[in-house]
Amino acid sequence: KAGVTQTPRYLIKTRGQQVTLSCSPISGHRSVSWYQQTPGQGLQFLFEYFSETQRNKGNFPGRFSGRQFSNSRSEMNVSTLELGDSALYLCASSSREGQGYLSADTQYFGPGTRLTVL
Amino acid sequence: DAKTTQPPSMDCAEGRAANLPCNHSTISGNEYVYWYRQIHSQGPQYIIHGLKNNETNEMASLIITEDRKSSTLILPHATLRDTAVYYCIVRVAKIQGAQKLVFGQGTRLTINP
């Protein structure tokens, strides 16, 4: 069964630009969460979407935004990039119901998108 | 959110059992203990979770103390591929089903040949 996929896997941008990252959840999963991982701050929760609605939000500035489509795919956008936005951006999906070897209400992560801001 | 405390690093010989401890003394009655691992900047991999009872799956075993204030993840026969950072997470109590994991610094487990 396909896992969570994220595109692109690597991205290089310059300060001031904006970027859009994409996440396709496991088939049947309706919740998608986003996390940022940096060496200094570790893994931090950005936001979570469920049925196209943002249900939970972490402590990040408004430059970080996201959305979810009717097929549960999600995108996150970072505007006016700063050097400190260089990070591994991770997406995770979950479902209230278990599916085979996948546990209910458990987040499964994708491989991440490595963003470098120059 | 209940906080967890893990040793920053541990070593284990290949083929031996790796026992990773985690303290979560402020855990609430409805909060689960989850374990994930992250191998060299890949996405975190789910390992196992539990509420009160001990749990076992094909990857590991999870032992939770009776008072639920601590737990131990056991990798029964560690291999070099088990070298990773292991995160013990107490799941934020469900608020309208919202999902959020609060990661600490984890334990860097090194399996030595």
Residue range B53-102, pLDDT digits in tens: 899 999 999 999 999 999 999 999 999 999 999 999 998 655 556 678 88
pLDDT band at residue A36 using 50, 70 and 90 as cut-offs: very high
> Cα dist. A25→A53, A73, B47, B88 in Å?
15, 6, 19, 23
* The pair of three-digit structure tokens given for residue B13, joined into one six-digit string: 């010989």
pLDDT band at residue B1 using 50, 70 and 90 as cut-offs: low
CB contact under 8 A, A112 and B41: yes
User: Hey, is the C-beta of B98 within 8 angstroms of any chain A C-beta?
Assistant: yes
* B102 contacts on A by Cβ (under 8 Å): 45
- State how far the Cα of A1 lies from the Cα of B56, in Å rounded to an integer: 22
Report the pLDDT value the prediction gives residue A1, as an integer from 0 to 100.
61
Whether A74 has a pLDDT exceeding 60, the answer reads yes
> Pseudo-torsion of CA A23, A74, B3, A115, nearest 10°?
50
What are B7-36's pLDDT values in tens digits? 999 999 999 999 999 999 999 888 899 999
Cβ-nearest to B49 among A4, A56, A106: A106
Report the pLDDT value the prediction gives residue A91, as an integer from 0 to 100.
97
